Amino acid sequence: MYPEDLKYTETHEWIRVDKDIGTVGITDFAVEELTDIVYVELPSAGGKVIKGSSFGTIESVKAVSDLNSPVSGEVLEVNEELSRKPEIITQDPYSKGWMIKIKIEDLTELDTLMDAEKYKEWVEKEEEH
């Protein structure tokens, strides 16, 4: 259910790391909680993001939610297709639904994120509330 090659945040973002580049999106759990995603606002390439801070918003028929960066760094690329077709996030949150690519400033920040097993436990606790 949660890909093993990713790291996860408590706010339901994921990051896939290749050397010092991180691809970021939201988890399947977040997609299910939001239901019908109608709009996503993402930063511009070249901008900076800070671990734990908002890098954009995602809007569904139910709510508007902040998107929080799992790491600090420079935004290298933005998935522009999501502005025209936000439903891609719902259809494929771990692949085509990626949001931004970040050049990670400090790789040790990854150590504070959850692996798939810990994230699964986190989600189970959230579902109990």
pTM of the model: 0.96
Domain of residue 12: give its range.
7-107+116-124
Q: What are 57-91's pLDDT values in tens digits?
A: 999 998 999 999 999 999 999 999 999 999 999 99
> Whole-number mean pLDDT of the chain?
96
Q: Distance between CA 119 and CA 127 in Å, rounded?
A: 12
Residue with tokens 């936000």: 86
Helices H / strands E in the chain, number of each = 4, 9
How many separate domains does the chain show? 1
Residue 129 belongs to a domain: no
CATH number for the domain harbouring residue 85? 2.40.50.100
**Residue 72 three-state SS:** coil
Residue 47 belongs to a domain: yes
Residue 2 belongs to a domain: no
Task: Give me the helices (H) in 12-115, please.
Answer: 28-34, 81-84, 87-91
Residue 46 belongs to a domain: yes
Q: What are 26-54's pLDDT values in tens digits?
A: 999 999 999 899 999 999 999 999 999 99
